[in-house]
Amino acid sequence: MNGSMQPAEGIIGTASLPQGLRGDYDHALADGTLPDAVLAPRSASDHATWRTLVARQRRIFPGRAASAWLEGLDRLRCDEAVPRLEDASAILRAATGWSLVPCPGLLPDAQFFGLLATRRFPVTHWIRRPEELDYIVEPDIFHDFLGHVPLLTQPDYAEFLEAYGHLGLQAEKRGQLAPLARFYWFMVEFGLIAEREGLRAYGAGILSSRTETLHALSGTPRRLEFDMARVLRSTYRIDDVQPVYFVIRDYGELFAAIGQAPKLLDAAVRADPIPPGGQGPDDRAWRG
């Protein structure tokens, strides 16, 4: 990745989106989704790009990707072509009651939370160009689908993400979106889980990126035990690999954290944020 190395907030979206985004926002419906009639058909180049991306990630997943995430990826049978959302939705509905909906890209907060709260996960329709295999500024279908969707087959995680959507709708009204965005960033995009065989990645931002997958499970970054209060104060960068990751023991831990969130969000809004890679007063290094 590249960029100015500045802290960032609001990866889950904003009240108003920046100009110049790639997706077809002109045809989006009121909930942020795209109607089937405007979805461009997939080209041979699109499918080739997808196969290249999946194949090179598959080579580095052993010993790095979480077992439940890998099981979900196998259930989706999506290695050979850009997946059809309706086919994947049938698998998810049978497993956890979730479905997928096409969207132009980043969504404003209210739309994003509203979809999650109704067990609909928004997936960007367009796919990156062949020259963008290693870095892309906006999330595309490869990030959204390969990164996020496999774990939606896991019941505890599926329950958590729905609860996160409901929490987001409340937090938006209370001016708590900055700390809530940090929770999403560290625990949905860049989360690690301790499994019997060792640490594994489940976060979408890790597993959809070759660079981040190799980095996250290397000896370079710091790894901390998951602490909801610490996560809500932790700012981040969107333009470089992460200097710090948080480790959970099971996906039910994320759902339990939602119950603690309202009072912790209030405290996080008032507290001084911890800079990217910074040291918190009560940090607990992961020793597993």
Residue 3 domain-assigned? no
70: pLDDT strictly greater than 80? yes
Give per-residue pLDDT as tens, 170-228: 999 999 999 999 999 999 999 999 999 999 999 999 999 999 999 999 999 999 999 99
Mean pLDDT value across residues 133-147: 93
Is 166 annotated in the active site?
no
- pLDDT on residue 136: 87
What is the extent of the structural domain holding 112?
25-35+43-270
CATH of the domain at 204: 1.10.800.10
Residue 6 domain-assigned? no
89, 99, 125, 148: the catalytic one is: 148
Q: How many residues does the chain have?
A: 288
- pLDDT on residue 8: 47
Model's pTM, two decimal places?
0.94
Per-residue confidence band for 20, with pLDDT thresholds at 50, 70 and 90: confident
Calpha distance 159→126 (Å, rounded): 28
Handedness of CA 37, 29, 100, 203 (dihedral sign): positive
Residue 19 domain-assigned? no
Is 27 annotated in the active site?
no
Backbone dihedral angles phi then psi of residue 201, each to the nearest 5 degrees: -95, 140
Is 189 annotated in the active site?
yes
In sequence order, the 6+-apart residues with CB closer than 8 A to the CB of 288 are 194, 198, 199, 247
189, 209, 212, 234: the catalytic one is: 189
Mean pLDDT value across residues 265-284: 95
138: pLDDT strictly greater than 60? yes
What's the structural domain count of the chain?
Answer: 1
Residue 8 domain-assigned? no
Residue 248 domain-assigned? yes
Is 131 annotated in the active site?
no
99, 125, 143, 162: the catalytic one is: 143
For residue 122, the cross-strand partners are 101
Residue 122 domain-assigned? yes
77: pLDDT strictly greater than 70? yes
Residue 18 domain-assigned? no
Residue 1 domain-assigned? no
